[in-house]
Amino acid sequence: MKKSKNLGIIVLVVILALLGLSAYRSYNGMVTRSEQVTAQWGNVETSYQRRADLIPNLVNTVKGYADFERETLEAVINARSKATSVEINPENLNAESLQQFQEAQNGLGGALSRLLVVIERYPDLKANQNFMDLQAQLEGTENRISTERRKFNEVAQGYNTFIRLFPRNIWASLFGFDKKPYFEAAEGSDQAPVVEF
């Protein structure tokens, strides 16, 4: 009787130790991956901030050539203001906040696209070295944004997969680790733009 009682205690201790080890390893893995998502979010924000920082120089350069395109310039300035005012805490990153951020950034991207279309009417501006440099920097920044968004989605996918696998899904719900959202393509981006001459 005493021997079976000791065996039961040993089995219970082993089970508790295994559960504790599982919780310890799962928690630390989730924290590591969550920090990777946060770090990559910082890279995304840095890329968008670089774009926002280039816009005032671009607008000032265009102003000298296109005084009567004030409405387009104001749209870019307002879109920049809106895009830079949307702040997201990466610890509380959810689908709604990411969508709000993405909509503001898409608005800025659309305003910039309209500005670049308007600029086609000004050959002197297109030949201006300062404008050409700014446009090249802006194009490079757009590529960086695309790259950082893709990397963010990869890191978020790794995190989401990690917290959804058994038994980590149990620990994730107990410790409050929630699924991270992904960047998605803007609505209508699956359709080729119409170009008319």
- Per-residue pLDDT of 92-142, as tens digits, reads 788 888 888 998 998 888 888 888 887 777 777 777 788 888 888 888 999
Q: What is the helix (H) or strand (E) element at residue 156, kind and residue range? A: helix 129-164
Would you state the structure tokens that stand for residue 43, as one six-digit string? 């890279």
Q: What would you measure as the largest C-alpha separation in the chain, in angstroms?
A: 98
Would you state the structure tokens that stand for residue 187, as one six-digit string? 């609505």
For 65-86, how does the pLDDT look when each residue is reduced to its tens digit (9 = 90+)?
666 567 778 888 888 888 888 8
Task: Determine the Cα–Cα distance for residues 116 and 119; give it in Å rounded to an integer.
Answer: 5
* CA trace torsion 155, 160, 161, 164 (10° rounding): 160
- Give the confidence band of 192 by pLDDT, cuts at 50, 70, 90: very low
Task: Determine the Cα–Cα distance for residues 104 and 77; give it in Å rounded to an integer.
Answer: 13
- How many other CB atoms sit within 10 Å of the CB of residue 162? 18
pLDDT of residue 68: 53
Residue 11 pLDDT exceeds 60:
yes
